[in-house]
Amino acid sequence: MEKAITSALLIIASIVAAMALINAVIPAASKSSGALLMANSEAADGISTDIEIIHATGNASTNQITVWVKNVGIKNIVPVSSSDIIVTTPSDVLRLPYDEGCSNECWDYSIEEGGTDWDKTATVKFILETSVVTGVYNVKVSVVNAVSATKDFSV
């Protein structure tokens, strides 16, 4: 009789322990699957976004660098103003900030053909206002999800 009571108590304790374990593991597994889904979505977003710098030029008399960048991916790129532009000049490396109506040490943009969004196949014209001297330059444009393109050019 004593063994039956002990066995019954051990079975009940095992069931309670199993329930506690299940209650701890299921929420953790759910959170992990959510994190995996988010990482998968971000990776797919990066894969379907692509840009190409089709031309870059500078003008020392106007202190302007003009860069045309085409969206060659399958996703629209928004917002354009959240892009990063890094310019390597003959003497410095600059990260220029976006400024609508930019006048000095910044950049502004316009979407070619009068568009309002940087849709797939659309080209954006970036105007960089910075000191321009004769030499070799490198410009890197990185869009909001870190997809980037680089171009060397001479002034």
137 vs 30, more confident: 137
In degrees and rounded to multiples of 5, residue 77 shows phi and psi of -110, 115
pLDDT, tens digit, 9 for 90 and up, residues 72-105: 999 999 999 999 999 999 899 999 999 999 999 9
Residue 51: helix, strand or coil by DSSP? strand
For the record, the structure tokens of 26 come out as 């299921």
pLDDT of residue 32 exceeding 70, the answer is no
Name the residue among 48, 46, 53 with its Cα closest to residue 123: 53
Quote the pLDDT of residue 128. Answer: 97
Distance CA(53)–CA(93), nearest Å, equals 19
Strand 106-111, strand 51-59: pairing: unpaired
